[in-house]
Amino acid sequence: MGLFRKAKKENVELKETNTLERTDFDKNKSEIEIVDFDTKEEKIENTLVTRKENRIIFIIIAALFLVVFLLPTLTSWFQRNSIFSYSDKVEEIVNNNTIDGMLEVGKEEGSITVKKIRFYNAAKRTNNQISLIYLPETEIKNVNNMEIYIELYNSSKNVIYRTKFTSDKKLERKVQGIFTMPVNEMIYKEATYIKVTIIKEDEFKTETDSMLCVKTFTDEDYKLEYEALYSFSNSGLISYKIRREVVMENSETDEVENEQRINKYAEYFEKEAEELSKTNVTDIAYDETSIEYTIDLLTFDLGKSDFSNPYSIGNVKRQIKLNEEANKWSCK
């Protein structure tokens, strides 16, 4: 019985202890502060994060400035590598698969597009002719005013021939054509590369060089003196002056025969002057024994004349010299 009471007493004490603990917990529970996480509070700024963000913005701005500053240099670097298609002179020239901006004569690879005209497939033909195929991307009514020039280069990549790209009729859109260049035998043999470029009118206004070619031969009792003075700018031929004169060497020639010969040359000079008068050339002087005139190729207009103009603006000195020497002229 004593043990039973002792155990019962301990159980009563245990219950009272549990009751007290629960009561204390309830009291403490009412004193706990409830935090509302939705309530806006002033945030603490992290200066390390702010500095890092400022540094990133500064790097981006500096990188953009560097790209803009180096853009011309980067562009010129790409232009020196012919494996890239690049634009030149306000995107008027686009090279595709060229060798330093040139096509190799006799090979079909590559093309050069100039002012929306695609040039390709340069080839050597019979009778010392070199041809180039062209294909307009749009209709072109007057290609002669587009300042497009075609150049031939030798194996050392030195220009040996230049002529202006012209057409007597308008170019039709997507209609292929062939531009043919008759050249002398020497240029025909040397021609290795071909280039299509643009030369502005201003580049022909300043004379930087000249060449005098002369030819003298005797026709029975007459000596014929021919003279041609060629003027060049850095971009090629700009004008030439012609003088032809017949000089009698034997004064004992029969008077009738002498008059007949004089008339023969007088008719020749008169006919040449007549054809020149149909052009816009105004500097013409001639008589029975001589003729002299100057042709400014920058303004020359053939009009309806049958005058044979042997050269065009931009022709290089070498090609003219070779042509004249082949015809027994002496040039210096």
What are the CB-based long-range contacts (under 8 Å, 24+) for 260-265? 261/219, 261/220, 261/221, 261/222, 262/288, 262/289, 263/288, 265/222, 265/289
**Residue 115: its pLDDT value, please?**
95
- List the 284-286 sheet strands across, edge first: 284-286, 290-296, 236-248, 222-233, 209-219, 330-331
pLDDT of residue 44: 53
Length of the chain: 332
- Model confidence at 237, pLDDT cuts 50, 70, 90, reads very high
Average pLDDT over every residue of 200-212: 95
Q: Mean pLDDT over residues 106-129, rounded?
A: 96
User: pTM here?
Assistant: 0.67
Q: Which pLDDT score is estimated for 218?
A: 83
Q: Are 120 and 96 in contact (CB under 8 A)?
A: no
pLDDT in tens, 246-260: 887 665 656 666 666
Just give the CATH number of 86-198: 2.60.40
- Segment 176-183 mean pLDDT: 96
Tokens encoding 9: 């007493």
Average pLDDT over residues 215-234: 89
Instruction: Give the pLDDT score at 14.
Output: 46
The mean pLDDT of 167-175, rounded to a whole number, is: 94
Please provide the DSSP assignment of 136-182 as one string.
ESS-BS-GGGS-EEEEEE-TT--EEEEEE---SSPBPTT--EEEEEE
Q: What is the dihedral sign for C-alpha 99, 104, 107, 109?
A: positive
Please enumerate in sequence order all residues whose Cβ is within 8 A of that of 304, keeping only pairs 6 or more positions apart, or say none.
Answer: 278
CA 192 – CA 323 distance, rounded (Å): 19
The overall average pLDDT reported for the chain is: 81
Q: Residue 12 pLDDT more than 50?
A: no
pLDDT given for residue 223 in this prediction: 85
- Structure token digits, residue 30: 């009412």
Burial class from Cβ neighbours inside 10 Å (0-12, 13-18, 19+) for residue 236 reads buried
Mean pLDDT, rounded, for 314-331: 94
pLDDT of residue 63: 73
Tens digits of residue pLDDT in 264-292:
788 889 999 999 999 999 899 999 899 99
Q: Where are the domains of the chain?
A: 86-198, 209-331
**Integer-rounded Cα radius of gyration of the chain:** 45
Q: What is the pLDDT of residue 62?
A: 74
Share of the chain above pLDDT 90, in %: 60
Q: b/e map of 132-163 (b: 16 or more CB within 10 Å)? A: bbbbbeeebeebeebbbbbbbbbeeeeebbbb
In the chain, the N- to C-terminal Cα span, in Å, equals: 152
In this prediction, residue 60 carries a pLDDT of 79
